[in-house]
Amino acid sequence: MLFTEERFEAFARQAETMIQAGRKWVDADEVGAALGMTPHESRLLVEHLESAGWATLLEGNEASVVKFKLTLQGFREIAKLRWPKWKRWIDKHEKLLTFVAGIVCTIAGALAIKFLDRTFWPVP
């Protein structure tokens, strides 16, 4: 299986749905099976969830069963997945957007000063 953002996001959303249904810990294989994934693919995606800080694995469970629960950060990040694409882009590129807004405001201020100079203080 190749890792794709779409599969990762679908897996995370499905896990959240199962947890919202009242389960504290969810089985990785069940989450993957609901999306048509193999157990191996499901376990790899759980490892990605854990490394991203979105999930915590159940300690001391059998090697054949991988159970996990979402962390607070996981719930927050999955909620962001429901945002429109433009809003997600802004969230990821906040510094760039701030930089561009600063440049636009600087240019607008310079143009306003030029306009006021010509209007109220004409050069003879």
The domain defined by 1-82 folds into: Arc Repressor Mutant, subunit A (1.10.10)
pTM beyond cutoff 0.85: no
What is the model's pLDDT at position 63? Answer: 65
Predicted local confidence at residue 120, as pLDDT: 78
Q: How far apart are CA 46 and CA 50, in angstroms?
A: 6
Residues in the chain where the model's pLDDT stays below 50: none
Residue 49 CA to residue 106 CA, distance in Å, equals 42
